[in-house]
Chain A
Amino acid sequence: MGLPNASEDLSSEMEVDAFRRLFPLRYFERHLTESIRPDARPLRKARDTTIALGAVASADGSALAKIGSTTMLAAIKMEVMTPSLESPDEGCIAIDFHMPPICSPIVRPGRPAEVAPVLSKQLSDTITSSGMINLKELSLVSGKAAWMAYLDIYCLDADGALFDAALLSAVASFSHLQIPVVSLDYDGKIVIMSEEQKEENSETKPVNKEKRKLTLSTIPFSLTCILHKSYILADPTAEEESIMETLVTVVLDSSGQLVSLYKPGGSVLVYTSAVQDCVALTRQRVKELQNILDDAISGMEID
């Protein structure tokens, strides 16, 4: 490696796999000049994406999202809390992102991945600031009781674009969320109404008869791109992320408005034109993701 052009000369003699491991950057750049990526994707194409709703029966809402082999499982559990004095008519959402040791060789038990809390915060910020959820809808009894929605996202397989997959699974689990019918008992506690109670007109009245589903006004979707020299690679794999470091994540909502834009450092300084290209790519991707989510939801309704 000491010689400037050592890899150039070796590449013709070496086996492809060895070249890939020894000179990953050269290996990728060779592909890029041919406008193709090692997994046979064009540079600006995202991997196949699927959503399965209702993957966890013990949760109130859940979704499994897959982008390529990156897999995220999100589930929501609804609990009751006393709303704060400042906002007596609002519920709350607590978002946590977990990377258990099963997802990647880098994560070991007892030594959590550094990116997990960072992504946790990013997801929380994005979902809050997008205005997707009206917290007033989570209110049960003004000043007395409101829902606390615990959203936990587990990364089951980490292969790049973790934020995109996590956000997708999060919004999908909110669209699957079915809020249980509850009533107020004599002690002022919120209890679940049983099937019989719902049918007969007993004196216990449900407090949230109409509010079983959240109205998601705008849904945020995201796309992560790698910038390398003048190339833009959409939806990177873990290998690509480890070789080329400059990432840009654009979050747009379903109406095409910009929710957030992250460019966490990296060696490439971004020109406005590159950012605009990324936003344009995200705009296309949002349409794709919206269709995938709509298909998943309509698939559930038929069942």
Chain B
Amino acid sequence: MAAKPGTASTTYSPVDPTHKTKPSIFTDSDWVRPDSRGFQQCRPAFFRTGAVNSASGSAYAEFGNTKVIVSVFGPRESKKAMMYSDVGRLNCNVSYTTFATHVRGQGSDNKEFSSMLHKALEGAIILESFPKTTVDVFALVLESGGSDLPVVISCASLALADAGIMMYDLVTSVSVSCLGKNLLIDPILEEESCQDGSLMIACMPSRYEVTQLTVTGELSAPNLSEAMQLCLDACAKLAQIMRSCLKEAASAAEE
């Protein structure tokens, strides 16, 4: 009864024909977001550390329908083929479940996100504190609901903190989508699919340092600086939520 090779391509998921792909109201000035949030309002964020017991550290994050789990393993022995290194290595991997997206996917690794996650975290980790060894950061997107990468980055830094890996600061990440004249913070999937441009920032809020900044698509200069400020403010707030999550976990462990 298991799927025979070749059968996968012959199935299709039924679509709703009345569903329009791009609502025209997005360009109007008085439209509301699908989840009736304000333009500059993030989704409620939920974090929990210690989601996976067999890992050195782990965290679960939920932003609306975006659900992510990150496990950290190590520091542990680097692969045999690796050359000697005075500083530790960071290894990142991001993958999606087959049911994460609306249409059933292959559940394969997302190479682009893996390398972006690596670059976003690299600068924040004190790699000198674990020479010759590797820290593995593995993320699994359980459900994709928009702004996946920023959620993965924030969740990963929380998992690293849970694993006791030395960092200069927590890394928090937020993205902004530009739709017409409007800037929308923490966009959901529908908003991302019809955006004109987007900006994503990963930063260390306490140090006010940016570890990663990506701009894609169309974004005018004044919009760009406004979007950056929006992101940085949201990142600082996110860091507070993550810090309180860590404190809660620590005080619960003491009892």
Cα(A256)–Cα(B13), bound, Å: 37
Cα(A57)–Cα(B143), bound, Å: 8
Cα(A108)–Cα(B134), bound, Å: 13
Residues of A near B142 (CB, < 8 A) are: 55-56, 73, 154
Instruction: For A180, give the chain B residue with the smallest CB separation.
Output: B14
- Interface membership of chain B positions 90-104, coded 1 if the CB is closer than 8 angstroms to chain A and 0 otherwise: 000101011111101
Residues of A near B16 (CB, < 8 A) are: 191-194
Assess the A79–B13 pair: CB atoms within 8 A.
yes
Distance in Å from the Cβ of A133 to the closest Cβ of chain B? 10
Assess the A128–B1 pair: CB atoms within 8 A.
yes
Residues of B near A80 (CB, < 8 A) are: 11-14
Contacting chain B: which of A2-10, A90-98, A274-282? A90-98
Cα(A108)–Cα(B77), bound, Å: 13
In A221-245, the 8 Å CB interface with B consists of: 238
Assess the B2–A159 pair: CB atoms within 8 A.
no
Residues of A near B139 (CB, < 8 A) are: 102
Please indicate which of the listed interface residues B19, B53, B145 has the most CB atoms of chain A within 10 Å of its own CB. B53
Assess the B15–A152 pair: CB atoms within 8 A.
no
Cα(A193)–Cα(B17), bound, Å: 8
List, sorted by A's number, 19 A–B pairs whose CB atoms are closer than 8 Å. A57-B143, A73-B142, A77-B99, A79-B12, A94-B1, A94-B3, A94-B8, A95-B2, A96-B98, A98-B97, A102-B70, A102-B138, A103-B52, A103-B54, A109-B109, A124-B1, A157-B51, A159-B53, A196-B18
Residues of B near A121 (CB, < 8 A) are: 2
Residues of B near A102 (CB, < 8 A) are: 52, 55, 58, 69-71, 138-140
- Beyond the given A56-B143, A95-B2, please list 4 additional residue pairs across the A-B interface where CB-CB is below 8 A: A77-B13, A101-B136, A156-B69, A182-B14
> CB of A158 within 8 A of chain B?
yes
- Interface membership of chain B positions 56-99, coded 1 if the CB is closer than 8 angstroms to chain A and 0 otherwise: 00100000010101110100100000000000000001010111
> CB of B107 within 8 A of chain A?
yes
Distance in Å from the Cβ of A159 to the closest Cβ of chain B? 6
Residues of A near B145 (CB, < 8 A) are: 58
Assess the A152–B140 pair: CB atoms within 8 A.
no
Instruction: For B1, give the chain A residue with the smallest CB separation.
Output: A128
> CB of B7 within 8 A of chain A?
yes
Cα(A122)–Cα(B143), bound, Å: 26
Cα(A94)–Cα(B51), bound, Å: 28
Pick the contact of B52: A92, A152, A157 (CB < 8 A): A157
Please indicate which of the listed interface residues B15, B143, B144 has the most CB atoms of chain A within 10 Å of its own CB. B143
Assess the B93–A101 pair: CB atoms within 8 A.
yes
Cα(A196)–Cα(B173), bound, Å: 40
Cα(A81)–Cα(B18), bound, Å: 22
Cα(A81)–Cα(B9), bound, Å: 9
The answer to whether residues A101 and B71 also contact, given A56-B142, A79-B12 and a CB cut-off of 8 A, is: yes
Cα(A15)–Cα(B2), bound, Å: 50
Instruction: For A127, give the chain B residue with the smallest CB separation.
Output: B1
Assess the B52–A197 pair: CB atoms within 8 A.
no
> CB of A185 within 8 A of chain B?
yes
Assess the A56–B54 pair: CB atoms within 8 A.
no
